[in-house]
Chains A and B, each alone.
Chain A
C-alpha cells in the first residue's frame, strides 16, 4: 500500500449523515484520486485532483464532495445526497510525470 494511508478502515453511517473519509500520502505525488468499488465490480472514479486547490468530477461525483487544501491530503465527504453509499472506497495518487497509480488500503463504508 506504499505511502498512502486511509482512515478509518471500517466506517458505519446512519442514513442522513455526512461522513468524511481520510486519505493522506507522503509520496510527494501531485495527483490524487478517489474511487468507489462495489462487490464484484471494478473501480469507478468519483473525483480527482491534479494540483492543490483544484479538483474535477469523475464519472460518479453526485452525492460526494472533496477538498485539496494540502498536497498530502485529499479527504472525501459522502453526503446524505448519496443514496447508495455502502461500498469500498479507494484513494490513489501518482506523480504527474508517470502513469502508475499507487493505492491506499481502502475504507469500507456501511450505511445502517
Chain B
C-alpha cells in the first residue's frame, strides 16, 4: 500500500525560483524521508525528519513535518536545472518493522 501521496504530481518552474512539494500520509510514523530519482536511475536519499522534529535543513533543502496533519513539505530554494528529477517521500510507519512506504512522487522540471 502507498501511504505517502505527493502533491503536485508535476511541477515546472524557472531556474532560480523555489520549488515546494507536499506529502501526506495516513498512519503514525517513526520518520519521514525524501528521496530524489533522476530518470532511469536509482534513488538518492536527501533528508530524514523524525516524528519529534518539525523542521530540518540541508543546504538548499528545507523539510517540515506536521504530525497533527500527517503531512510534510520539501522546499528547494534557488532551484537549478540540475534539480530536475522525481522526488519521493517515504514513511517509516510505526509498527512497520522499519520498512519504508513510498509515495508516487513529484516530477520537478527546472527550466534554464
Seen from chain A, the residues whose Cβ lies within 8 Å of a Cβ on chain B are: 1, 4, 35, 40-45, 48, 56, 58-59, 88, 90, 92, 99-106, 108
Contact = CB atoms under 8 A, between A and B. Distances in A.
A100 B42 contact: no
A102 B43 CA distance: 8
Interface range for B? 20 to 34
B68 interface: no
B100 interface: yes
B42 A101 contact: no
Contact of A42 (B2, B44, B92): B2
Contacts of A40: 104-105
A45 B104 contact: no
A45 B40 CA distance: 18
B43 A99 contact: no
B25 interface: no
Contacts of B99: 45, 48, 58
Given A40-B104, A100-B48, A106 B41 contact: yes
Contacts of A43: 43, 88, 90, 102
Given A41-B105, A43-B102, A103-B42, 4 more contacts: A4-B42, A42-B4, A43-B43, A99-B98
B33 interface: yes
A36 to B, nearest CB: 11
Contact of B100 (A88, A101, A104): A101
Contacts of A106: 40-42
Given A99-B48, A99-B98, A106-B42, A59 B1 contact: yes
A1 B41 CA distance: 9
Nearest to B47: A100
A42 B42 contact: no
B79 to A, nearest CB: 22
A41 B48 CA distance: 21
B54 interface: no
B50 to A, nearest CB: 9
A93 B101 CA distance: 15
